[in-house]
Structure 1
Amino acid sequence: MVRGIVRITLASLALLSSAHAQTADPASFVNPFIGTGAVDTNSLSGSNFPGACTPFGFVQLSPDTRESPSDPASGYDYNDHSIFGFSHTHLSGTGVADLFDILCMPYTGEVVWEPGQYKSDFTHDAEKASPGYYSVLLKTWNTKVELTATTHVGLQRYTFPTGTRGHVIIDLDHSLDKKRFYWPCRIISAQVRVVNDHTIEGYRIITGWSRLRKVFFRAEFSQPFVSDALLEGGKVMEAGTVVNGTRVKAVLDFNASKDQPVLVKVGLSSVSREGAERNLETELPGWDFDATVADARAAWNKELSCISVDGTEEQKRIFYTGLYHAFTQPNNLADADGAYVGTDFTTRKAADGTHYSTFSLWDTYRAAHPLYTLVQPERDAAFINSMLRQYETYGYLPIWQLWGDETYCMIGNHAIPVIVDAYMKHLPGIDYAKAYAAIRASSVVEHPGAPFRLLDQYHFFPENKQSQSVSLTLEVAFDDWCVAQMANAMGKTEDYKYFMDRAGSYRNLYDADTRFFRGRNADGNWVSPFDPLTYGGNGGAPYTEGNAWQYCWYVPQDVPGLIRLLGGASSFTDKLDTFFTLQAKPADVNGNASGFIGQDAHGNEPSHHTPYLYDYAGQPWKTQLYTARIMQELYNDKSSGYAGNEDCGQMSSWYIFSAMGFYPVNPASSVYCFGSPQLRKAVIRLANGGRFTVLAPKAGGKNIYIQAVRLNGSPYHKTYITHKDILSGGTLEFDMGPAPNKKWGTAPEDAPAGSAY
């Protein structure tokens, strides 16, 4: 008996040791190549980059495989075979491109200036990436390039072949495609200045998706350059000291040797040249490349250890790479001393030392920000404080903010649910009086994307007066519901009544004859002809990046009301069944629509909550079926890892939640609906010091159906769990099997009612 106890104890210790080893280095499961290139080049795969960065860092140092990047927006496509250089800023997973600042490229031979001349072939066999590190052999130049980063500094190590003259070009003209993109991109002004034989500095001012960006840099080299040449347009200045213009480049020459690699560290600032120099001195005063790699990996391990999981090796790679992508942005624009440029282009100081941007809110409000409230609550508060700074200078909250500039991309104002979610979850560190003023103003102040006077006049947005009218009406109705909840909690009765009334405006676009939300004009007539399969893009149609099928389900604030509108639970689930099985794909499918299961297009955000809606209508086993199918068929651990643009952490956050077994259908309700857990175990490390453990030891493969649930050892029949339950700590256990249990979770009282307030 004693020996048996010892054996069990040793086995338990072995499991604990194994779990600890996994937790200690979760970065080992991250594959930065996931989401960098589709197998079918006509498909979307993520639009992620594989280069070096730190969590939420300003610098994303990565290779660009296109001379003038536009698609994919990350600048890197796994299917390409050439590298044009390594630029210091990138977007992760977005549908449109920008940034690509301060490109550096080593090469050998004659001095050349054009991208087609200094580009190099490469192969994936000679390419590696891990959190905080990237390396590749440039075949054309037989030169090895290694990259790492701190928050504001990129560090590169070039190993040239011995006996050659090594060159490094710094190209300030490299940008997104200046001729073929949605908006004009051009360099307004740029400068390179030679400080000494180890140092250059400069800036560029550029317009593109972000209307005006100032990028300052200081580059220091580990050994002196023996000569330099500066270029503006077609004019070369040998041994120049400064060059100004709009097509500025510099070439620096080095005596190459395999035994003495050339290192260059580049500090960036969005504020000033002095800021770039200060960031460089503060974050990377030395030249220890390997130590910098280790520090970056340690920073990633610290952040990634917020959740420890047990599953298959593939599941762990998808999961931790998803966390990695979710923590790649928003990016801290503030310098090391807290200085940042406001939306009014004045220099300001952030008291907490951070000012974040890259807010892809139309995507990330759905799951990424709710994930942050669980595992990054202090950071989410800092994100919100950064959003509030836009309100202070701009008059309303961010819609899609890039480099501190409002781009007006997408519809609605989904900073609102992010703030309301934080308020209802009691995240500290936020001035909620100011926050309420901001969300209220953002719901009534007219701006190019939201003519609220039309909503007040017609109680919907008429298509003949406002394009994307159906999507805009539905999404603003959700935002209004969020404002109403915060108003009610703060005792603002009149505001509560006003915004709750507007939150019901979605009903005014419901056509009982077709059983879809349809566009209608100011005279009240429906927009005709109508085909629910017809897609809209980003203007010129009633639907935004979707069709009537996909927007039929967008009432996350009132799913019970939507069920009644569609004729009751049976009628609702019948229509959902058709949605998930109707295979028709007309020729005008928008490029953002991908990852189809029937009409559910998981590759784009309007469909993300839809498979969970069966939980509300007494058929939770169908939620389990479709969420498992999406995870098993539409995510993988290869370059084609996503079914659509990853969108700054949203696609990843959907998987992170869903693999653990739950998802926030209404991302401002503090309610998480159950799906089909795929991981055997997940432990969430809570900010309050507690732990919330999810166990599903039989999960995976064909065991996609919930047989029973226990919360802290007691039988649990509800098809949801609340944020409060999670923060209380404890253990949620799923018993999984290959056949649906149609008795579990099917009673009306088991369904999520829509709110936990």
Structure 2
Amino acid sequence: MRVRQIITTARAPLAVAAVLLAAGAGLPATAAADPPPASGWRDPHDPDRTVVSDPAQYVNPFVGTKPGDTDFGNGGGGGNTFPGATSPLGMVQWSPDTVTYQHGGYYYDDQRIRGFSLTHLSGAGCGDYGNIPFLPFLGDTPVGHEAFSHAHESAEPDAYGVTFDNGLRTELTTTQRSGAARISYPAGQAASLTVDAGRAFNKAGGHVEIGTDTISGYSDGGGFCGSGNRYRVYFTARFDHPFTRSGVVRDGGLDTTRRSATGGSDGIAPQPARTAEAQSRLQHGPARPDRPVHPDAPDEGSGARAMVSFAPGSTVTVRVGLSFTSAAGAAANLDAEQGGAAFDRIREAGRAAWNGMLGRIAVGGGTEQQRRTFYSALYHSLLHPSVLSDVDGRYPGMDGKVHRTEDGRVQYADFSGWDVYRSQIQLLALVAPDEASDIAQSVVNQGAQGGYFDRWTLANGGTGVMIGDPLPTIASEIHAFGGTRFDAEALLRQSLTGRHNDLERPGHPAYDSKGYLPVGTNGEWGPASGTLEYGSADFALSQLADRLGDRTDHDALLRASANWRNLFNPANGYVQPRRADGSWPKFDPSSGDQYAEGDGAQYTWMVPYNQRGLFDAMGGNAQVVDRLDFFFQKLNAGPTAPHAYLGNEPSLNTPWAYDYAGRPDRTADVVRRAVTTVFSDTPQGEVGNDDLGEMSSWAVWGSLGLYPLVPGRADLVLASPLFPHTTITRGNGVRIDLVAPQASADARYVHGLTVNGVPSNRPWVDRSLVNHGGRLRFRLADTADPSWGRDAADAPPSYDVGPDHPVAGTVTEPGGHCLTAAPAVRLADCGSGADQHWQLAGDGTVRSVGGCLTGTGTAGELRMRGCDGTGEQQWWPRRDGALVSPPTGRCLAAGADGLRLAACDGSSDQRWQLPDAAAWT
């Protein structure tokens, strides 16, 4: 029987092994008499609290296994997910692989299975893993694949089953570090199985050892996105039936004299250019023939393929342990997590573990389809990162050495950094802060062992894939969301060092000296987008430094986060590529040149921590709203269009931008349209690769009507809830209730909001909701309210570099003369004229009559120019009295030859008396 479960209290996600311990005592994992309606119910003793029974029933693991829209060349037009069995954040992902390859291993339109491999990535835009496929078959001769029908296939959290057309049935389930398969062979033919240790999605090698009822060995793989990463995974498989025949497959037959073999195979996964090096080869090297997007795998296996047989008609259970550390670790993981538990008990415990995690967000009301879309997205959001360490804490480090975690801690792997820092890691930290703390410590460990933070790490290796500096951002966000049980001080120290490491931040000398990555920056793919990514990382780190009490590094990092201004062109209102000499090349907003997987129209909005500064530079709210309305005429237009591309990451923050422009009704509309049309509960329910849960997490946040827009902070901007009742029960006892009785697909506009009973017109909530819990009660309708959230004072906060409130007065040099704005920037005797009245503004500008003080690095020129939001008008008043021009790195100096920009040297002619300095330093 299936164990049903009611989630009633906050607790850690159930590990399958822990549930099995309860089962060993003869007790069900969780018992419930007369469970409430599965769609979610409200506690009569606590009307705002929603409870859901067995949320796993709403999960469709097939979502994302079939393209849902056009393949725009960024990993496919589908989710690239896999439907097989796995635990939350599990090491083992035991899933079917079809003959027709799709990243993730499974292509829904192909009903031929070539094996059930033990390792997978959910939603990546490149291929890796797919190690050690098991393939049951009938007869004495190995086969390359078996045919099946979707009518005889099923998948649910931690359970997969399929009956081949020949009547052979395979069922799969897992614990975190092990798996179990039950194979039911029909009578009348030989019951056989192959296990291939030398086969994976990419070029692989391996070794296999065959016993009387065991198969063990290891598999080597790597080559993610064509990079040089390599890993080794060990396995131990134990069968409950002895082999009647066994050996190594050679030349299509069985060599029964061999008990071991070593061999390898070529990979089949296309590897698109996702690194700067690969992009350079693609653009400047000889043309290479394109590989098909969905190639077919050859039927032959590797030279390390074992074959075993059983008595006809047998039902065989095989248990498999994995380890990235050692053969002994694989066996120990299997023993610790399964023991002697029956297959059905393992499967029930796995479902209970998933219910323990999924039930932390309990939705009530809505349609069946909406609940299925929601919980399928939540499920896919919680598959990665993946457990790397064994039950004894041992794991292979980024330095190739074996390390051990502290007792009770877990090391995680598989960080899709460029993707998941946007919303997946925050969702994981929201529901599971303890696990998130271990994930943050895993980031710290990776940096310490590897000497830098890689952008996209797989197993215990870096790949250099994508752009930016996302891993420190991930850890900072976990810290902001309450996952503080890690060495945050070490993270900050390592991150500050990494900002000057070529491996971590290609192009950092230019970024540090010029304030942007110029066109043609060596080692950088998409310098314009890379500048924005570095800025987001710097901002997230500035917030971590602030929480740790480090004001000096906070100030410097916050200043660096304003570097987007150096690529903002006031002539056209776009963040665009710029040459090293400061000139602007010819620019087309719909061109992807100098951007990664997007274009200027899409990336210009990617200043999530300072939307106010960006919008002011664009000309104000009215112009911004018009541009956004045009932008969202299409929701998934691809990477070279003037419209949104919600099938990929760079556009994900933009639907929420309306909140900052006084139009939260437009945010509510676009988010609801995206949630209900871009995502669904079918195999084609995603329009772009899921990227280890990032796209799914966006659908979850969108359905909640909340979003963690600002990197490194736990503030949330608002749309509106899709469900009438939602209870979020965090793993640390904090509870959040979202109540929206009128919510529906159409009723999306906020007409009223109370936060803990207090009326609010703000389309955002501060970090106290995440950290301490609370209740949001929405009043919704299907028409927009012209007044709610429109007042500029109610807009979400933007984080700029100037004082919180503008300060004004004179700017005086040590000799007693005053900075004067007209008729030119100069020093003059102090008087009472308006041209000596200066305002230090919140956007980092120094303003007087004639506009903003502007400095250029070409000849140290100073002049007044209309305020335009560019980097040349940024000034950094330091505590020692210096006034620094960040893009030039020079200081405002007063000398006998007049005013100039000079190398900062701490001399007296660079120390200014500034108005009300205490208010902003």
TM-score by length of 1: 0.90
1:533 to 580, 586, 590: 590
2:686 to 613, 638, 642: 642
User: Which residue of the partner structure matches residue 468 of structure 1?
Assistant: 526
1:312 alignment partner AA: T
For residue 501 of structure 1, report the CA deviation from its aligned partner: 2.6
For residue 66 of structure 1, report the CA deviation from its aligned partner: 2.5
User: Does 2:535 match 1:477?
Assistant: yes
**Distance (whole Å) between structure 2 residues aligned to residue 517 and residue 232 of structure 1:** 59
User: Which residue of the partner structure matches residue 218 of structure 1?
Assistant: 236
SS at match of 1:243: strand
Residues 622-631 or 40-49, more deviating: 40-49
Q: Structure 1's 356 and 688: CA in aligned 2 closer, same or farther, altered over 3 A?
A: closer
Q: Structure 1's 80 and 213: CA in aligned 2 closer, same or farther, altered over 3 A?
A: same
User: Larger radius of gyration, structure 1 or 2?
Assistant: 2
For residue 438 of structure 1, report the CA deviation from its aligned partner: 2.0
**Distance (whole Å) between structure 1 residues aligned to residue 158 and residue 700 of structure 2:** 21
Deviations for 1:159-196, whole angstroms, at most 9, x for unmatched residues?
Answer: 111021011011223222xxxxxxxx433x4211123x
Matched-pair contact (CA < 8 Å) for 1:481–1:499: yes
User: Does 2:513 match 1:496?
Assistant: no
Q: Structure 1's 221 and 688: CA in aligned 2 closer, same or farther, altered over 3 A?
A: closer
Deviations for 1:639-682, whole angstroms, at most 9, x for unmatched residues?
Answer: 11112111111112112122111111113222111113211111
**Distance (whole Å) between structure 2 residues aligned to residue 690 and residue 99 of structure 1:** 37
User: Which residue of the partner structure matches residue 400 of structure 1?
Assistant: 456
1:556 alignment partner AA: P
Matched-pair contact (CA < 8 Å) for 2:656–2:667: yes
Q: Structure 1's 378 and 233: CA in aligned 2 closer, same or farther, altered over 3 A?
A: farther
User: Which residue of the partner structure matches residue 107 of structure 2?
Assistant: 77
2:526 alignment partner AA: Q
Deviations for 1:560-607, whole angstroms, at most 9, x for unmatched residues?
Answer: 11011101111221221221227996xxx55xx8xx9x7111111111
For residue 449 of structure 1, report the CA deviation from its aligned partner: 5.0
User: Does 2:327 match 1:327?
Assistant: no
Q: Structure 1's 425 and 31: CA in aligned 2 closer, same or farther, altered over 3 A?
A: closer
1:48 to 67, 81, 86: 81
1:28 alignment partner AA: Q
Matched-pair contact (CA < 8 Å) for 1:330–1:359: yes
Q: How does 1:149-168 map to 2 (within 5 A)?
A: 149-168=174-193
SS at match of 2:721: coil
Q: Structure 1's 103 and 532: CA in aligned 2 closer, same or farther, altered over 3 A?
A: same
Residues 437-446 or 267-276, more deviating: 437-446
Matched-pair contact (CA < 8 Å) for 2:42–2:50: no
Q: How does 1:93-242 map to 2 (within 5 A)?
A: 93-112=123-142, 117-139=143-165, 141-176=166-201, 185-187=202-204, 189-195=205-211, 197-209=212-224, 211-231=229-249, 237-242=255-260
**Distance (whole Å) between structure 2 residues aligned to residue 520 and residue 397 of structure 1:** 27
> In percent, how many aligned pairs have the same letter?
32
For residue 374 of structure 1, report the CA deviation from its aligned partner: 1.8
**Distance (whole Å) between structure 2 residues aligned to residue 235 and residue 449 of structure 1:** 52
For residue 518 of structure 1, report the CA deviation from its aligned partner: 1.4
1:575 alignment partner AA: R
2:435 to 373, 379, 389: 379
For residue 236 of structure 1, report the CA deviation from its aligned partner: 5.6
**Distance (whole Å) between structure 2 residues aligned to residue 470 and residue 250 of structure 1:** 51
**Distance (whole Å) between structure 1 residues aligned to residue 260 and residue 503 of structure 2:** 42
Deviations for 1:449-476, whole angstroms, at most 9, x for unmatched residues?
Answer: 5221121232211112244010000110
**Distance (whole Å) between structure 2 residues aligned to residue 22 and residue 169 of structure 1:** 45
Matched-pair contact (CA < 8 Å) for 1:153–1:267: yes
**Distance (whole Å) between structure 1 residues aligned to residue 748 and residue 324 of structure 2:** 48
For residue 534 of structure 1, report the CA deviation from its aligned partner: 1.7
2:445 alignment partner AA: R
Deviations for 1:47-99, whole angstroms, at most 9, x for unmatched residues?
Answer: 111100111110000000136x4xx2110011112111100111001111100
Residues 19-28 or 634-643, more deviating: 19-28
User: Which residue of the partner structure matches residue 576 of structure 2?
Assistant: 518
**Distance (whole Å) between structure 1 residues aligned to residue 92 and residue 465 of structure 2:** 23
**Distance (whole Å) between structure 2 residues aligned to residue 654 and residue 152 of structure 1:** 28
**Distance (whole Å) between structure 2 residues aligned to residue 710 and residue 584 of structure 1:** 34
SS at match of 1:627: helix
The count of corresponding residues between Structure 1 and Structure 2 is 713
User: Which residue of the partner structure matches residue 322 of structure 2?
Assistant: 268
For residue 264 of structure 1, report the CA deviation from its aligned partner: 1.3
Matched-pair contact (CA < 8 Å) for 1:367–1:667: no
For residue 706 of structure 1, report the CA deviation from its aligned partner: 0.9
Deviations for 1:500-546, whole angstroms, at most 9, x for unmatched residues?
Answer: 23211111111222221111222222233x221123xxxxx311100
2:119 alignment partner AA: T
Matched-pair contact (CA < 8 Å) for 1:557–1:666: yes
**Distance (whole Å) between structure 1 residues aligned to residue 768 and residue 42 of structure 2:** 30
Deviations for 1:678-720, whole angstroms, at most 9, x for unmatched residues?
Answer: 1111101134424211011111132121111112222111110
More helix by share: 1
Deviations for 1:469-508, whole angstroms, at most 9, x for unmatched residues?
Answer: 1000011011112222333444444433332232111111
Q: Structure 1's 553 and 233: CA in aligned 2 closer, same or farther, altered over 3 A?
A: farther
Matched-pair contact (CA < 8 Å) for 2:88–2:382: yes
Matched-pair contact (CA < 8 Å) for 1:232–1:243: no
Q: How does 1:351-390 map to 2 (within 5 A)?
A: 351=406, 352-390=408-446
**Distance (whole Å) between structure 1 residues aligned to residue 542 and residue 500 of structure 2:** 13
Matched-pair contact (CA < 8 Å) for 2:246–2:307: yes
**Distance (whole Å) between structure 1 residues aligned to residue 263 and residue 664 of structure 2:** 62
User: Which residue of the partner structure matches residue 32 of structure 1?
Assistant: 61
Deviations for 1:365-421, whole angstroms, at most 9, x for unmatched residues?
Answer: 111121123211111110011111111111222411111211111111112222223
2:447 alignment partner AA: Y
Q: Structure 1's 19 and 473: CA in aligned 2 closer, same or farther, altered over 3 A?
A: closer
**Distance (whole Å) between structure 1 residues aligned to residue 371 and residue 636 of structure 2:** 34
Q: Structure 1's 604 and 40: CA in aligned 2 closer, same or farther, altered over 3 A?
A: closer
TM-score by length of 2: 0.74
User: Which residue of the partner structure matches residue 6 of structure 1?
Assistant: none
User: Which residue of the partner structure matches residue 120 of structure 2?
Assistant: 90
Matched-pair contact (CA < 8 Å) for 2:482–2:771: no
Matched-pair contact (CA < 8 Å) for 1:231–1:243: no
**Distance (whole Å) between structure 1 residues aligned to residue 670 and residue 222 of structure 2:** 43
**Distance (whole Å) between structure 1 residues aligned to residue 42 and residue 412 of structure 2:** 40
User: Which residue of the partner structure matches residue 465 of structure 2?
Assistant: 409
Residues 496-505 or 562-571, more deviating: 496-505
For residue 299 of structure 1, report the CA deviation from its aligned partner: 0.8
User: Which residue of the partner structure matches residue 64 of structure 1?
Assistant: 97
Q: How does 1:720-739 map to 2 (within 5 A)?
A: 720-739=764-783
For residue 725 of structure 1, report the CA deviation from its aligned partner: 2.6
Matched-pair contact (CA < 8 Å) for 1:387–1:398: no
**Distance (whole Å) between structure 2 residues aligned to residue 650 and residue 14 of structure 1:** 29
Q: Structure 1's 490 and 285: CA in aligned 2 closer, same or farther, altered over 3 A?
A: closer
Q: Structure 1's 482 and 472: CA in aligned 2 closer, same or farther, altered over 3 A?
A: same
**Distance (whole Å) between structure 2 residues aligned to residue 577 and residue 621 of structure 1:** 12
SS at match of 2:415: coil
Deviations for 1:187-219, whole angstroms, at most 9, x for unmatched residues?
Answer: 3x4211123x11121112223216111111111
User: Which residue of the partner structure matches residue 560 of structure 1?
Assistant: 612
**Distance (whole Å) between structure 1 residues aligned to residue 380 and residue 533 of structure 2:** 26
1:89 alignment partner AA: T
1:729 alignment partner AA: G
**Distance (whole Å) between structure 2 residues aligned to residue 170 and residue 571 of structure 1:** 61
Q: Structure 1's 144 and 359: CA in aligned 2 closer, same or farther, altered over 3 A?
A: same
For residue 37 of structure 1, report the CA deviation from its aligned partner: 0.9
